[in-house]
A and B are shown apart, each in its own frame.
Chain A
């Protein structure tokens, strides 16, 4: 009885942790791919193939990448050279 209770507790905890970790993982992946695709477009004007759907938008000053990976959404904005300020 005690074992079943513990098992249920552990499975519940695993589920919570898996959900949290999946979110972190998607966030990590999303940040990486959105940055890579936006950066690649900034330098080459070509769209990199990525495992997640990432939209690229271009403004006169910047290139913006917006990606959705699972429940996570990431946005990266990189300045064009002549608009960059350091």
Chain B
């Protein structure tokens, strides 16, 4: 004998509803989490690129500023040699050598930064990094005045690029001179 029951009609719709609700909720949560990971990835790339771009900008500004000081001191020493026999001439030459030494140290630090960039890879080996720009400054041999200012080998690029990518995101920045003959370098986010 089959006993009919009206109890239990609540269970199936409720189960279906709970299941669907959970699935949709989980889907939205998963979408938010995926998006959050992408943003985190993008901001990490930006942070990494940004720090190095500002470092490059500082390097370029310092080297060029020291170059101008070297040119100034060389002119000063040349005048002193031509006009007088100042006993303090060696003092000026020491300053000149100091400036050239400081420039060399800045360029050495940039070389170290280039290696660190390739090895560190923004803290994640899966991040693809393009090598940092080569600063192709060379110093001509010193003369009787002292060390000469650095000269760029070839044409100075209009912009230096720093790029990284971690699929599907990428980040890049450029360091550039706003106008020709302007002394200041600028850094900004940009896509090549």
Q: Are B10 and A6 in contact (CB under 8 A)?
A: yes
Instruction: Count residues on chain A whose CB falls below 8 Å from chain B CBs.
Output: 24
Give bound CA distance, A81 to B13, whole Å: 55
Query: A67 CB to closest chain B CB, in angstroms?
Result: 14
Q: Are B9 and A42 in contact (CB under 8 A)?
A: no
Can you give 30 A-B contacts (C-beta < 8 A)?
A2-B6, A2-B7, A3-B9, A6-B9, A6-B10, A7-B13, A14-B17, A17-B24, A21-B24, A21-B25, A24-B25, A24-B32, A25-B28, A28-B28, A31-B32, A32-B35, A35-B39, A42-B189, A44-B191, A80-B189, A81-B50, A81-B53, A81-B188, A81-B189, A82-B54, A84-B50, A84-B54, A86-B47, A86-B50, A86-B51
B88 at the interface (CB under 8 A from A): no
Give bound CA distance, A7 to B50, whole Å: 57
Chain B interface extent, by class: 20 to 34
Given A17-B21, A44-B191, A81-B187, also A10-B31 (CB < 8 A) = no
B95 at the interface (CB under 8 A from A): no
Taking CB atoms, residues of chain A closer than 8 Å to B31 are 28
Taking CB atoms, residues of chain B closer than 8 Å to A84 are 50, 54
